[in-house]
Amino acid sequence: MSPGMVMSEESRKDDFDSLETQYKKGVKHLFDNGIEHVPRKYILPASERPNVVHEKSTGDVDNANLKLPIIDFAGLQGPNRSQVLNSLASACENYGFFQLVNHGIPYEIINNVVGVSKRFFEMPYSEREKYMSADINSPVRYGTSYNQRTDGVFCWRDFLKLVCQPLPDVLPHCPSSPNDFRTLAVSYAKEVKFLFLMLVDAILESLGLMNKRNVTQKDDDKDEDEDKEKEEEILKEFEDGSQLMILNCYPPCPQPDLTLGMPPHSDYGFLTLLLQDEVKGLQIQHQENWVTVEPIPGSFVVNVGDHLEIFSNGRYKSVLHRVLVNSMNYRISVASLHSLPFESTVQPCPKLISETNPRRYMDTKFSSFLEFLKSRDSTKKNFLESRKLTS
């Protein structure tokens, strides 16, 4: 072998290493460096690209905008509660998603958390890099793609994950720049947690698991007392439950048809409350088609996660969703994922199981999910599939 050949092989390896290093710095970094073509690392196989119409689809509606069911949170507190609960149940059964309006979180708090997320990603890479960690259990973790250690093809997204429970333990790790980051992120995290608890209360009632409001209990009714205790136990568990906040940044992409901001996935957890800015991008799978969720400023996109599908024994659906990118605009979203404490076991609610509706899912622990993440490509709806019982 000639010395020249050895050189060229080495330099090719150097090129490769430096490319990999660049990719690990994320897509904001690529975009800031004026990238004009999507690198091979981000190009999806033709069948997985965003504008492919699949055989099963009922028509070319990939770009159709979907008006998700709208749930009026204020309506849940008034005389129309039972109608709103019916709409909530039907949204969770038929879409797995809804938009929550009139939720009571002040517009300023929402604007501030989206604004400070934007400013976080606008900081120089050297500032953001401080929060990178190879440990997926780290309470604060900056990264890129979906799962940068296992993704064969990278996606066009950078993120910052913050574990928010218990808040006092996490605070010292929370980014201190921008200098108002901590205050704004924490006040948002508290508000959204409270909203989640109110929603859980409504969801349990919509599943027929809570005593109806305003019904005076008879003192001698032991069963009802026991039910009430059980409900309070569940709610208490959620109060101490897990909360993970994910700030997502999707920079403009020179060839948005070749890649995705986030691959199809369902959310681990009970419910996700998502804030998206005015830039479209989120798509959900609905009746075999990918449809775009139209942003409603100031509202939340709420979706059923794997744990709620399991808990409801399959009645409420944890639906696949993905994110498209575009060549013009940055898109920012803030997702808050909530569930039971990490050490709890999630199982179909015993009251929802009967002879005619047998148990459909195995008991599931957070550790089983982590094992799954380590062992397999997590971009498919495999985790929930892997928890299904086959009769």
Query: Which residue in 248, 289, 364, 378 binds ligand OGA (CB under 6 A)?
Result: 248
Q: Closest distance between ligand OGA and the C-beta of residue 249, in Å? A: 9
| Stretch 321-340: interaction string toward ligand OGA, x if CB under 6 A | x-x---------x-x-----
By CB under 6 A, tell whether 260 contacts ligand OGA.
Answer: no
With CB under 5 to 8 Å by kind, the binding choice for 299 among Ni ion, ligand OGA, none is none
Q: Closest distance between ligand OGA and the C-beta of residue 93, in Å? A: 20
- Which CB, 267 or 309, lies closer to Ni ion? 267
Query: Are the C-beta atoms of residues 363 and 346 closer than 8 Å to each other?
Result: yes
Supply 218's token pair. Answer: 């008879």
Q: How far apart are CA 231 and CA 233, in angstroms?
A: 5
Q: How far apart are CA 273 and CA 301, in angstroms?
A: 6
Supply 97's token pair. Answer: 């998603």
Shortest CA distance to 205 belongs to which of 305, 83, 302? 83
Beta bridge partners of 334: 247, 275
By CB under 6 A, tell whether 160 contacts ligand OGA.
Answer: no
Q: Identify the three-state secondary structure at position 124.
A: coil
Q: Identify the three-state secondary structure at position 368.
A: helix
By CB under 6 A, tell whether 282 contacts ligand OGA.
Answer: yes
Q: Identify the three-state secondary structure at position 92.
A: helix
Rounding to the nearest 10 degrees, give the CA dihedral for residues 208, 210, 216, 217.
Answer: 100
By CB under 6 A, tell whether 267 contacts ligand OGA.
Answer: yes
Q: Closest distance between Ni ion and the C-beta of residue 71, in Å? A: 19
The count of chain residues that interact with ligand OGA, using the rule CB under 6 A, is 12
Query: Are the C-beta atoms of residues 308 and 271 closer than 8 Å to each other?
Result: yes
By CB under 6 A, tell whether 276 contacts ligand OGA.
Answer: yes
Q: Give the interface with Ni ion as residue ranges (CB under 5 A).
A: 267
By CB under 6 A, tell whether 76 contacts ligand OGA.
Answer: no
DSSP output for 170-184? HGGGS---STTHHHH
Applying CB under 6 A, the span of 18-26, 122-130, 177-185, 273-281 interacting with ligand OGA comes to 273-281
Angle, CA of 235, 237 and 240, to the nearest 5°: 115
- Which CB, 22 or 292, lies closer to ligand OGA? 292
**Cα atoms in the Cβ-side hemisphere of radius 13 Å centred on 202:** 28
Greatest C-alpha distance within the chain: 94
Applying CB under 6 A, the span of 94-102, 251-259, 276-284, 345-353 interacting with ligand OGA comes to 276-284
With CB under 5 to 8 Å by kind, the binding choice for 333 among Ni ion, ligand OGA, none is ligand OGA
Query: Which residue in 210, 262, 304, 308 binds ligand OGA (CB under 6 A)?
Result: 262
Residues that bind ligand OGA (CB under 6 A): 246, 248, 262, 267, 274, 276, 281-282, 321, 323, 333, 335
